Every structure is written in C-alpha cells, then in structure tokens.
Amino acid sequence: MERLWAPWRAAYVTQEGPRPDCIFCAKLQDNRDEENLLLLRYPHTFALMNLYPYNNGHLLLAPNRHVGDICELTPEESAELMALSQELVKVIRRVMNPDGFNIGINLGKVAGAGIPEHFHIHLVPRWEGDTSFMTVFGEVRVIPEDLKATYAKLKKALEEAGRA
C-alpha cells in the first residue's frame, strides 16, 4: 500500500459545511492571504500556491474575474497575466534557483483542468533530476518543503522587491 504524507490536505478534507463553488473566487474574496497562500494581487489578476503541487514553488495565476476560457480574457487581464508570470519567474529564480520552468494552461476538463470554470496558468519550477526514481517507479511525487515555508520565502522576496 502506498502512503504519502501531505499534512496540508487535512484542513481541506475535514472542512465542514459546503465548499465554495470556485476556490479561486473564494480565496480572492477572503482577506487572509497568508492562510490562503495567496502571494500577490494585481488589479486584474492574482497568484497563489498550488495546494497539490507538482514541485516546490508550483503557483497558480488567475484573473480576478470568474471566467473559464482564455478567449474570455480582456486585453488587460491577458497582459497582466503575462506580467505576473514574468515577475514570479524572476522571484523564483532568485529565491529557489531552479534550472527551468514549465508554464502551462489546461483549457477544459478533457485537457486536464482540475478547475475548468476559472481560467488559470500553472507556473512550475523545475530542477535537473527532479523526476526521481519515486516518480519513475512509484508514480509518486516527492515535495521536500512544506507549502508554508515556500510561501514565506517567496512572500519575503516579493516584499523586499516592494511588490507585496
């Protein structure tokens, strides 16, 4: 039997009452950014940590407006998502020193979108050799750093840059 330690999931799976229709909208409307791992707010977009990351530093970038398709984005939202991507790549490079990045969009459920009703971009730092034997043989990802520790490092770097 395969067992993975993922303590940050406990709060989600034990949450009482109805879950919000859209986690992006709920986190954006809530003013507890640190608790929600919301890193950065722009006028039309925002960035938050992925609760189920592929790698440390896996971020989700989304428009503030609830839209599900790239074709529904305004020119301002599109430009701001690109600016947000660029800013966060710079910060992650400085703080985490990855060898590269995957930046991608899963448009629609059939394309792998876990939350197809709210458009978002995945920004995933990558390191040489980050696909270890665990992934190859066990189909398991190993995330070596706690989400809150990664959040704290990135938030501090954004504050030092005058952005948070």
Which are the catalytic amino acids?
A: 120
Neighbour order of strands in the sheet with 38-41: 38-41, 45-49, 59-63, 121-126, 100-104
Query: What are the C-alpha distances in Å from 137 to residues 124, 130, 132, 162?
Result: 22, 14, 9, 43
Q: Which of 153, 136, 38 is nearest to 97 (CA)?
A: 153
